[in-house]
Structure 1
Amino acid sequence: MNKRNHIRLPPEVNRLLYVRNLPYKITSDEMYDIFGKFGAIRQIRVGNTPETRGTAFVVYEDIFDAKNACDHLSGFNVCNRYLVVLYYQSNKAFKRVDMDKKQEELNNIKAKYNLKTPEAP
């Protein structure tokens, strides 16, 4: 019987890891070398736009492999940069997008009704 079946994981643990503070010139092959030591990887996406450079998403086949990688690689030194490895949480990722959208809606309403907010001192 597999011992893993009886382990209860925290709710934030999932197969998708979000990695920050990567060297800008890191390749997917180097990412596979680093993260592949902890288990089978389904996909790695390295950020390539100015906003996403230095970040990546790593998707593992197994949740326990993802947990093991997160536990061991958070703080790992790659090219004199310490990795920040987190579990991806969609509710936090989209919170910023929602705030921007709400601010835009508020600005549209203000413009429609010609409202102005007082300046802060």
Structure 2
Amino acid sequence: MNNSRANVRLPPEVNRVLFVRNLPYKITPEEMYDIFGKYGAIRQIRVGNAPDTKGQAFVVYEDIFDAKTAYEHLQGFNIMGRYLIVLYYQPNKVTKKMNLAKKEEELRELKTRYGISEDD
């Protein structure tokens, strides 16, 4: 990291991992590297190939500033007639939802086990 960036404060949601949605299903990994690699060194790209993850990808940059630049330039970018949706990956949001669902399920099981109805 060079010194001009050392004191820059980034918003808390900014990180090195971008979550990209609305990708053309036929996009190749090479095309992904061509598009996202223009903004900096990429550590990894994972393109969804399951029915529920098609058209989505995670792009991991080596440098957080490169991820920020890519985010700013590629949001709404048109590829093969589709406009990209680029977000910063926020794992805590995903796990929070999963944890909440798990806690609700545990609560239902306890209520059932101890014969507590929803009306009590």
Query: Which TM-score band applies after superposition, normalised by the shorter structure?
Result: 0.7 to 0.9
Quickly say closer, same or farther: Cα 1:71–1:111, change in 2 above 3 A: same
**In the comparison of the two structures, how many residue pairs are matched?**
118
Q: 1:28-78 CA distances to partner (integer Å, 9 max, x unpaired)? A: 111111101101100001112222222111000111110000000011111
Runs of 5+ unmatched residues, structure 1:
none
Alpha-carbon distance in 2 for matches of 1:52, 1:39: 25
In structure 1, the residue corresponding to 2:45 is in which secondary structure? strand
Identity %: 65
Alpha-carbon distance in 2 for matches of 1:33, 1:17: 16
Shift in Å at residue 90 of structure 1?
A: 1.4
Equivalent in the alignment of 1:43: 44
Quickly say closer, same or farther: Cα 1:101–1:80, change in 2 above 3 A: same
Code of the residue aligned with 2:25 in structure 1: it is Y
In structure 2, the residue corresponding to 1:44 is in which secondary structure? strand
Code of the residue aligned with 1:114 in structure 2: it is G
Alpha-carbon distance in 1 for matches of 2:73, 2:61: 15
Code of the residue aligned with 2:33 in structure 1: it is Y
CA RMSD of aligned residues (A): 1.7
Alignment of structure 1 residues 5-24 onto 2, 5 Å: 5-24=6-25
Equivalent in the alignment of 1:34: 35
Shift in Å at residue 13 of structure 1?
A: 1.1
Shift in Å at residue 91 of structure 1?
A: 1.1
Runs of 5+ unmatched residues, structure 2:
none
Give runs of ≥4 in structure 1 deviating > 6 Å. Answer: none
TM-score by length of 2: 0.87
